[in-house]
Amino acid sequence: MTEGAPNCPACEKPKLPGTVECPHCGVVFARFRARPPVERSSGSEPAVREKPSPSPVQTSRSSVLSRLPLRELESFLVAASESLAAGITTTAFAQGAGGAMLPPALGQRFQELADAGGSVVTLLEEIGLPGAGDAAVLRAAEKRGELPKGLSALAQGVETRRKGLGRFLGQLIYPCVLLLAWILIEPLAQLVLQGPLAYAKHVLPRLVPLVAIAGVTPYLAVRLSGQSSLQRWILAPLAYLPLLSGISLRRGKAAFAEVLGSSLRAGLPLYEALSLAGSGASHPKITRPMPSVSEAILRGDRLYVAVERLPFTREERAWIQHGEESGHLDDALLRLEARNREQAQVRTRVLFLLTAVLFGVFVLARLLLGTIEAYKGYFKLLDGILEPLLGGGLGRGAE
């Protein structure tokens, strides 16, 4: 071997001084990575290593149960925030109040995660949270040592979502009552003229779908979240309807600003916060241009320049620019969220009012027509009864 020229790590032949490539095997020295030695058993075949059994934290989602109701999730978040802020460990909380507040299967799962070194966030990730970026925001708060504050803020968000959902379901009572009145009252004359069987045949085909929809709507409304497939299949098509497109877009912009602000306050980098905000918006006009927005941020563009690809107005982008330059981006995002949410609520109220008026006119018109038809049938029945009694003449068969 030549002095000062070590051997090639691949072929063990001497290198040439001043070269970066072996003249014998062509290996580039800077790119060479030695392969780890293969462990062999007593025979000629390599020994097969047994796969380690997964720990409780690595268990797949197959063991995860359904999402907690919002009220139970809110209570659990408040209790977890207060317990961790008081200095109670996750293991003690899981074995005590935390495990008792959950269903038996989830309580046992929480204790397993705590014993394996997991945190409250690990359990919440498995259960599923309402918002698309909630778990990542909690992870960031946990890294900063502010997990109790993050849990408290999330509990307030769940409370707001629960109350809004309750108001939405309460507004559906009025059209359901009108529909029920139309279904039961319009064919009421058939109950008198033709009997209960004819009345039931007319009512049941309309009543059964109404009861089914009234029973399924609360179930679906609770499970409509940023991580749910129902969000994609039920709410996403509404973004293309003429009357609902404006409401959907403003709600999407409000959700984008909310998730972005929460992520930045939790200490997430801007690139990751934008990714979470795009997924939390759940609107095609926001999710589709998000890759180009992220590329612009990676190139070094400012946020107000990157969001020009999103459907924000010039005034809204000016708010973002002012927030960036003055160091109050959180306040600008809160104002952006409040404005779009307020506009969405106003448009929703107008749409509900217009729909209620048209629906009320339709139901009243159907009831009036049904009443007129009922009187016609009643008068025909009276004519058929009174004509022989009052002497309406001989029948045609006697002529």
Residue matched to tokens 């009421």: 188
Residue matched to tokens 């004519």: 383
Residues 6+ apart with CB under 8 A from 3: none
Q: What is the mean pLDDT of residues 155-165?
A: 84
Is the pLDDT score of 203 beyond 80?
yes
pLDDT value for 259 = 83
Say what percent of the chain tops pLDDT 90.
10
pLDDT value for 312 = 92
pLDDT value for 169 = 78
Say what percent of the chain tops pLDDT 70.
72
Mean pLDDT estimate for the chain: 76
Identify the residue with better confidence: 342 or 191: 342
Cβ–Cβ < 8 Å for 286, 310: yes
Is the pLDDT score of 336 beyond 90?
yes
Tens-digit pLDDT profile for residues 385-394:
666 666 554 4
Q: What is the mean pLDDT of residues 247-257?
A: 87
Q: What is the mean pLDDT of residues 233-239?
A: 66
Q: Which of 321, 336, 329, 327 is nearest to 256 (CA)?
A: 336
Q: Is 36 left (phi over 0), alpha (psi -120 to 50) or beta?
A: beta
Identify the residue with better confidence: 21 or 213: 213
pTM: 0.61
Tens-digit pLDDT profile for residues 78-135:
999 999 998 899 889 998 888 888 888 888 888 898 888 888 888 888 877 777 667 7
DSSP assignment of 376-394: HHHHHHHHHHHHHHTT---
pLDDT value for 315 = 92
